[in-house]
Structure 1
C-alpha cells in the first residue's frame, strides 16, 4: 500500500513541473499502412491493465462495443478501441485498459501495451488541423529533435460519446438555471484541448448568456491573460475589468491546467481572478491536488448544471 501511495504522490508531483505520464499502446495496422502506430492515454485515467478477461456479448450492442466484463465485482462495458480508430490488430486484442474519467468507468480492448513515458507538456502539440477528430494532441516522445517518435493522444471523451452517446447528457437551457450577468466588458476565459469539450462548454456559456473567449491550450490561455492585461493597462484599467473568471481543463498540450492555474495565482496582477478547473480527471487525489495549486473550484466533466452552479458561486 505504501508503494502505491508513493507512486500516486510521485505522479501528482509531476504536475508541479508541467510534466505527466503517458501510457503508450498499439492498436494494430491502419488501412494502407504496414506498421503499427503508437497511441497514448494519460496514466491518471487508467485504473488498471489486465489480460483480457471473459467477455459477455450483449444483444443489439452498439457496433464498437465488444460486450461486458465482470471485473472485481463491477460490470464494465468493453469497447473495441482498434475498431473505433480504424486499425486492424494482427495479434488480436489481448489487453484490457480499465479507465476512469468523466464520472464513468469503461474498458478499452487494445492489441498491446508498450511503456509509460514521462513527458513535459511542451513535448505535446495540439492536433487541431492535422486530421482526425479522435486525437487531441501529438506527443513527441524524444523531444523536438528530428526523427522523434510520435504518439497520438486519443480524445477518449469524444470516443466515449461516439460509442455510447447516451453517456453524455445534452445541455437543456431550461435546466441550467438563471443566466449570469457580467459587468460590461468582462468575459469568461475558457481553455480545453478537446473539440467536443470546447463545443459543450460554449453551449453552456451561451445558455448562461455570458461572453467568453476560448483557448485550445493552457499556454494559449496564459498568453491571452497577459495580452488582455496589457490592453487593460493601456486603457487605464486592470485585468479584473477584462476577465471575470478562468475555466480550464487539466490535460492540455504545451501547458496543463495545473501550471496555468499556478501561473495565475502566483502573479500579483492576476491572483484575484477566480479559476475553476473543469476536468475529466476525477477522483479524490486529483481534486485534492487541484486545491493545492490554488484553484477556486473543481468541477468534474460534464454536467452543465453543476458547472453553472460553480460559476455562480465563485463569481458571487
Structure 2
C-alpha cells in the first residue's frame, strides 16, 4: 500500500471516529486457560511474517526472545506471551513488525486472528477494570451485549518496561519555560498511563498548569465547559485553554475526531492543537495535518515537545 493511499484511508476512518484493530492470540491465560483476544492498531504494524530465525542476545531481558534480521534491519523481538503471563502452547509462530515511538521492534504472537474495523466509542478505558498497566482499553468486537471482547495492549508501557530508553531527566533545563496567558491551562489527553506521567513531568518542567484527561471524549467535555464559562465571563477561550495536546489512539473518541471537532467549532477553533503520538513517520505527519492540527510531534522527547508547543502557540496568536 503506498503512502498516499494509506493517508487517505486513515483520514476517511478518522472522519468517522473509526480505526482498524489487528486481533491476535498469545496462548492460554494463567487463571482460566482461555486463549483471549488481544489487539493493536493496524497502523502500528508494518508487516506480519512467519517467525524468522532469532539470535539470542547475551544478558538481555527475559522478555526479549532475541533479535531478528528483517529486510536488513536488526530488530528486538519481545515475548508478549511472557509479558502478559500467557502460555503459548503452540509456540510463538508469528512476528508483528511494528513502528511507533521512533522505534522498530517485533512482537512475537501465537496466532493472528483477524482485522476488524471499529468505532472508537466501542472501545472503553481499562482503568477501573484492571490494576495492571499492560492494557489501555477493552474493545467490544460485537455490537450486541455479551459479545466478544479484545484487550488493547499498552505498547508504550510494554516498550518502556522491556526496553527502557536512555533519556535525560525531564526538567526546565531541557524544556525551557512555556509562556501562556495568566490563568490559562494546557489541556492534555492520552490513554496510556506511562505517557500521561511523562507529559505531566514535561508540563511541570515547562512551568504551566494543565488538565489531564484519558480520552478524547473527556477532553471534549472539558472544552465545552470551558467554552460556556468563557462566554459567560466575556473572555477568549484561549485565555482559559491555551493549547490542546492530544494523543491519536484513545477510547471513546480518538485524537483525530477531537481535533476535527475543535477546528470545526467557531468558539473553539482558535485553540492550537498539537498531536503527540507514537504513530510516528512521514505518512502520519501528513495525515494529522489533513485533520486540521496546528502541529505534530512524535513521542516522547520533552525538549521537542516543548519546542513544538511553543511554535504552535506563537503561530496561533492573532
Contact 1:171–1:204 under 8 Å retained in 2: no
1:139 matched residue in structure 2: 139
Paired residues, number: 313
The SS at the match of 2:27 is strand
Contact 2:138–2:150 under 8 Å retained in 1: yes
1:286 to 281, 284, 287: 284
Once the two structures are TM-superposed, the CA of residue 289 in structure 1 deviates from its matched residue by 1.2
Once the two structures are TM-superposed, the CA of residue 182 in structure 1 deviates from its matched residue by 2.0
1:245 to 239, 243, 250: 243
1:117 matched residue in structure 2: 116
2:304 matched residue in structure 1: 306
Contact 1:189–1:245 under 8 Å retained in 2: yes
Contact 1:205–1:212 under 8 Å retained in 2: yes
1:19 matched residue in structure 2: 18
1:76 matched residue in structure 2: 75
Seen in structure 2, the aligned counterparts of structure 1 residues 130 and 168 have a Cα distance that, compared at 3 Å, is farther
Contact 2:176–2:206 under 8 Å retained in 1: yes
Once the two structures are TM-superposed, the CA of residue 10 in structure 1 deviates from its matched residue by 2.5
The SS at the match of 2:26 is strand
Contact 2:10–2:287 under 8 Å retained in 1: no
1:102 matched residue in structure 2: 101
1:275 matched residue in structure 2: 273
Contact 2:54–2:67 under 8 Å retained in 1: yes
Once the two structures are TM-superposed, the CA of residue 236 in structure 1 deviates from its matched residue by 2.5
1:192 matched residue in structure 2: 190
The SS at the match of 1:83 is helix
The SS at the match of 1:289 is helix
Contact 1:81–1:109 under 8 Å retained in 2: yes
Seen in structure 2, the aligned counterparts of structure 1 residues 219 and 72 have a Cα distance that, compared at 3 Å, is same
1:178 matched residue in structure 2: 176
Once the two structures are TM-superposed, the CA of residue 313 in structure 1 deviates from its matched residue by 1.1
Consecutive unaligned residues of structure 2, counting only runs of 5 or more, are none
1:262 matched residue in structure 2: 260
In the alignment, the residues of structure 1 paired with residue 121 and residue 282 of structure 2 have an alpha-carbon distance, to the nearest angstrom, of 27
The SS at the match of 1:78 is strand
2:161 matched residue in structure 1: 162
Consecutive unaligned residues of structure 1, counting only runs of 5 or more, are none
Of the structure 1 ranges 230-239 and 66-75, higher mean CA displacement relative to structure 2 is found in 230-239
In the alignment, the residues of structure 2 paired with residue 16 and residue 118 of structure 1 have an alpha-carbon distance, to the nearest angstrom, of 14
Query: TM-score if structure 2 supplies the norm length?
Result: 0.95
CA RMSD of aligned residues (A): 1.4
The SS at the match of 2:253 is coil
In the alignment, the residues of structure 1 paired with residue 33 and residue 153 of structure 2 have an alpha-carbon distance, to the nearest angstrom, of 21
